[in-house]
A and B are shown apart, each in its own frame.
Chain A
């Protein structure tokens, strides 16, 4: 019963959450924007003069920025391709009638619950280490020479680690979507003469389209901010070979203490994330009306 009284009570109940989030969003955002126009280095105390767009031109013209952008795109794109394709295949497999389905599901989902620092360290040391890692042992067993993953192919290695963490997420969501497909639709297609491949292509995939979009968008939001995995494994190196935008901003602000440039980088990261966010919000908003 929507009376005047209950409306004002509702407003009162919502306001703490709104005010807190508003503060959490606006204050730091405004400060980031403000700092990005200042020459502001924590190692050089004193006045922080207004320098206009200098930080931006410095940050954007830094070769490290170009490298970080490319790395960010490769990291996000690589992980997305691996997790979505792998997730579809895994979901198809898990959707079958198999022995011990519950246990299999639990095993597949497990990596998602491993904290990023643990997974990065385990992969770095126990698998990818060129001397004592399991991969090195395996290479030796096969008569090959050991490969130093993190110095020879740092970005690819990080893509591998992050994909391992996110594959369960994609699988779980795609599996959920798959199970919501009306089996009569598949049976109707079968009666209409569609083979397994056409059934997948014409019925299953269109049904999954929405879930795939959701996976892509949500993962993108998180993948743009990959940080711990890089910090723990390569520190962004060698050189800038595995530095992404998030790590670059961290390095500028908290390693080189250049608050101005770091803030300019932060603004760039916000703009980038917003482009993705707009699409994601639209999808979720549509769902809200349904």
Chain B
């Protein structure tokens, strides 16, 4: 961090930073604003920023015409479901690797990571055909399976880096203090690991919510989450900007809020601990 700058310099830099930040944020802001306009105002030339008749109509129309909440619910089930299952598989694995490291631990970790490097398109065809044959195409169960597996390496890694930071001394202290395995886990390990598990949960829900390769390729009308639902707006003609904006706003708002909470953990999670 730089030393306290002179007030004038600080003001100049602050203004510059705000301008840049608002420019980057503008597409999102504009989408949110447009969602409250009528379709005519949405395409008005010149466009108006706030001086228009604010309306919630678009939100009702989106829900009415395309059953927004069904897709929203699909997104919730798929992202949270895949994350919980992923955690259930990953917590024991990361735990064991962090606290009982063996000669192969590093290799196992690296290998898990390497599965994440596999481009999805490389396995698209077989997965599509298998899903078609066993009836998993366009089902939430199918998507939960796929998203659990593609995000499992990230979950294991994030948890591993968190668990590894819990000092071994403390576990030994607990043992010296007379804790048996159950108390050691319940009173010492779990409370210390919980923040790490929580941020892993958060980041993974975000990743699953926004996943747009498998969700687009493996779903149709039935189990489409918001990513695929929004994509269906790519063709209609005529006046639809306001409705598109309303649908978009609803699709990104929950995750934007979650994301802002988890920005600190984001770096660690997405770089596999290589940058902290």
- A25–B92 touching, CB < 8 Å: no
* Residues 144-160 of B contacting A (Cβ, < 8 Å): 149, 152-153, 156
Tell me the smallest distance from the CB of B243 to a CB of chain A, in Å.
11
Task: Answer yes or no: A123 CB below 8 A from chain B CBs.
Answer: yes
Taking CB atoms and an 8 Å cut-off, the chain B residues in 69-115 that contact chain A are 89-90, 92-93, 95-97, 99-100, 102, 106, 108-110, 112-115
B238 to chain A, nearest CB (A): 11
B159 shortest CB reach to chain A, Å: 11
Tell me the chain A residues, 214-268 only, with Cβ under 8 Å from chain B. 214, 218, 221, 224-225, 227-228, 231-233, 245-246, 249-250, 253-254, 259, 262-263, 265-267
Enumerate chain A residues within 8 angstroms of B251, measured Cβ to Cβ.
115, 118
Which of B30, B110, B152, B271 contacts A17, CB < 8 Å? B152
Residue of A11, A27, A118, A253 contacting most chain B CB atoms (<10 Å): A118
Q: Judge whether B108 and A18 touch: CB under 8 Å.
A: yes
Distance from A39 Cβ to chain B, minimum over Cβ atoms (Å): 14
What residue in chain B is nearest A280 (Cβ atoms)?
B117
**Of the residues B100, B122, B244, contact of A270 by C-beta under 8 Å:** B122
The number of chain A residues with a CB under 8 A from chain B is: 109
A232 to B229, CA, bound (A): 12
Q: B14 at the A/B interface (Cβ < 8 Å)?
A: yes
Cβ A123 vs Cβ B27 within 8 A: yes
A250 proximity list for chain B (CB < 8 A):
121, 124, 217
Binds B, one of A57-65, A74-82, A151-159, A171-179: A171-179
Q: Nearest-CB distance from B184 to chain A (Å)? A: 11
The reply to whether the CB of A185 lies closer than 8 angstroms to some CB of chain B is no
Please, which residue of chain A has its CB at the minimum distance from the CB of B249? A118
Which of B100, B127, B252 is close to A118, meaning CB atoms less than 8 Å apart?
A: B252
Q: In the bound complex, do residue B10 and residue A121 qualify as a contact, i.e. CB atoms below 8 Å apart?
A: no
User: Which B203-224 residues have C-beta < 8 A from chain A?
Assistant: 206, 209-210, 212-213, 216-217
Q: Which residues of B contact A7 (CB under 8 A)?
A: 100, 102
A121–B248 touching, CB < 8 Å: yes
Whether A111 pairs with B93 at a CB distance below 8 angstroms is no
Residues of A in contact with B (beta carbons under 8 Å apart): 1-2, 6-7, 9-11, 13-14, 16-18, 20-21, 24-25, 27-29, 31-32, 35, 90, 93-100, 104-119, 121-127, 132, 134, 137, 140-141, 164, 167-169, 172-173, 176-177, 179-180, 183, 210-211, 214, 218, 221, 224-225, 227-228, 231-233, 245-246, 249-250, 253-254, 259, 262-263, 265-267, 269-270, 272-274, 276-277, 280-281, 283-285, 287-289
